[in-house]
Structure 1
Amino acid sequence: MKIVICFLLFCVFTVKSQTLEVKNDSLKNIKTEKTFLKQTTVSRILIGSGVILSGTALENSIQRDVRNMVGSDFTTTIDDHLWKVPLVQMYSADLLGVESKNHWFDQSKNAFISHTLNKYATNAFKGLIGKERPSGYNNASFPSGHTSKAFTSATILYEEFKDTNPWLAYSGYVFASTTGFLRIAKNAHYLSDVLAGAGLGILITKLVYHFDYLFDWNPFKKKEDGVESLTTFNIAPTYNNQTIGLTAILQF
């Protein structure tokens, strides 16, 4: 019951947030809201599925099957680090000159805000719901924090490169999904925890990118005669006399 109540409250919050648009163009606002609702369909389905599945016999059966498949003594620490991979991909693509939606500073700003909001939201739900982990370690099972963090990073990568490099944009979800599976395999979470965590990470990041105009500040941007330009910072590898290094160029 706690999970259902928290889910309903979160739905009310997100729907309310979607209406915070400038009101001088109602037709544009309606179109924007419909577009955003469509973009968050997957995340809402994931969260809803987690709520429905939580505590059911089917979930317990899935947990047993996964544990039997990997072995009851299965353990790994890879899931503690996979959430970083999509961010490494993003900054590596920036260094290689792959076109992205935002400047690297704005990418970093959105990543910081998304992960901060996700951390507090995930911990809040864990405390409110108090679901016991399958291992019995504590009552912080729902939703999965590792999974929500991984899907936050994956969605940041997706938002930055979905229009210029779809293969790169979607690749982050491979690492995020692997994180979710490993959390189940380690007996740290049930499937419902992972589904809800994935949906939460995606939804929060979508909200941050939807409202990024509210914190549109970049010290590397400057205006000359009304035209906005960027201060660029590039790093390139160098090789000279059998010595490998990096060259940094800051252009104002």
Structure 2
Amino acid sequence: MKTIVATLCFLLIVLSNGFGQKDSTAQKQNGSLLKKSIVPLSLMASGILLTDSGFEKSFNKTTRNWVGNDFDVPVDDYTRYAPIFLMYTADIAGVEAKNHWFDQTKNLAVSMVLTDLLTKFMKNNIYKVRPNGFNANSFPSGHTSIAFSTGSVLYEEFKDTSPILAYSGFGLATTTGAFRLTNNKHWVSDILVGSGIGIMMTKLVYHFDYLFKWNPFLKSNNITLIPRYSDKTVGIYFSKIF
């Protein structure tokens, strides 16, 4: 398992360095992708080092003793999507964002899809039993990777205009990871690698978003987009005034 994840991290470093050097224009505008990758790659590397370690097992045992063996609060099913709600609410409230709502939605969708695909690929190819013994798809945490993906999109959109709003996404993502631990669904290494994946995929999408800037609604002011959550399903209400 460690070999597979270590290889993945190595490829990400190589790609980051290569892309950063090839496109000088994008590099001047967005900065080096390798530099942007330091935090997510560090999180992933930390998770790899802690996997199946004595510290990880001890940390899980201590956490369960602290909250109680019967503790199971499914708030993490909702907090992973909360940054999406905050982003669109801020748009409706008129808070200035980096991108138009269509570009926000596009970047959000691509980030979540890439994050989900990579997370599921790793889950299906890495055998690691959950701390509650439910199955062997513990590594990495899907809830956490999605939470940090949505949180990263919120950060990218409002970091220059509303820092508190921007960083709140990471707060919600951290809360999601914390509840995955206290609910005994994941080990700490699952959380660290999941958070790294979510941040990394979003960084990639925003670094290369200049390659797919198509937006048919850029000049449309009579369109409304409102997020929707019902029965564990996330959706979007779309309306246009004629």
Q: TM-score interval w.r.t. the shorter chain?
A: 0.7 to 0.9
Find the aligned partners of 2:216 and 2:20 in 1 and give their Cα distance.
Answer: 25
Partner residue in 1 for 2:222: 233
Count of residue correspondences: 228
Find the aligned partners of 1:12 and 1:46 in 2 and give their Cα distance.
Answer: 16
Find the aligned partners of 1:249 and 1:137 in 2 and give their Cα distance.
Answer: 46
CA contact (8 A) 1:161 1:169 kept: yes
Deviation at 1:6, TM superposition (A): 2.5
Pick from 109, 112, 121 the counterpart of residue 115 of structure 1: 112
Identity, % of aligned positions:
46
Pick from 75, 78, 81 the counterpart of residue 78 of structure 1: 75
Q: Which has the larger radius of gyration?
A: 1
Matched, 1:218 2:207: no
CA, structure 1 residues 82+102, in 2 after alignment: closer, same or farther (shift >3 Å)? same
Summarize deviations over 1:87-109 as a string: whole Å, max 9, x none.
11100000111000000000001
CA contact (8 A) 2:20 2:34 kept: no
Find the aligned partners of 1:125 and 1:11 in 2 and give their Cα distance.
Answer: 15
Deviation at 1:21, TM superposition (A): 6.4
What is the one-letter code of the residue matched to 1:172? G
Summarize deviations over 1:26-82 as a string: whole Å, max 9, x none.
5x5666786322222111110000000000000000000110111000011111111
What is the one-letter code of the residue matched to 2:97? S
Alignment of 1:11-160 (within 5 A): 11-13=10-12, 15-16=14-15, 19-20=18-19, 23=22, 26=24, 28=25, 35-160=32-157
Find the aligned partners of 1:102 and 1:250 in 2 and give their Cα distance.
Answer: 22
What TM-score do the two structures reach when normalised by structure 1? 0.84
Deviation at 1:12, TM superposition (A): 0.8
Summarize deviations over 1:136-193 as a string: whole Å, max 9, x none.
1111111100000100010000000001111100011111101101111111100000
Find the aligned partners of 2:30 and 2:103 in 1 and give their Cα distance.
Answer: 23
Give the 3-state SS of the residue equivalent to 1:232 in structure 2: coil
What is the one-letter code of the residue matched to 2:200? L
Matched, 1:204 2:201: yes
CA contact (8 A) 1:44 1:203 kept: yes
Deviation at 1:250, TM superposition (A): 5.1
Find the aligned partners of 1:234 and 1:95 in 2 and give their Cα distance.
Answer: 11
What TM-score do the two structures reach when normalised by structure 2? 0.87
Find the aligned partners of 1:250 and 1:19 in 2 and give their Cα distance.
Answer: 46
CA contact (8 A) 1:232 1:250 kept: no
In structure 2, the gaps of 5 or more residues are 225-238
Give the 3-state SS of the residue equivalent to 2:32 in structure 1: helix
- State the superposition RMSD in angstroms: 2.2
Stretch moving more, 159-168 or 34-43: 34-43
CA contact (8 A) 2:181 2:188 kept: yes
Matched, 1:168 2:165: yes
What is the one-letter code of the residue matched to 1:232? N
Find the aligned partners of 2:21 and 2:39 in 1 and give their Cα distance.
Answer: 26
Summarize deviations over 1:192-213 as a string: whole Å, max 9, x none.
0000000110000000111112
CA contact (8 A) 2:16 2:37 kept: no
Find the aligned partners of 1:155 and 1:149 in 2 and give their Cα distance.
Answer: 10
CA contact (8 A) 2:5 2:48 kept: no
CA contact (8 A) 1:4 1:51 kept: no
Partner residue in 2 for 1:8: 7
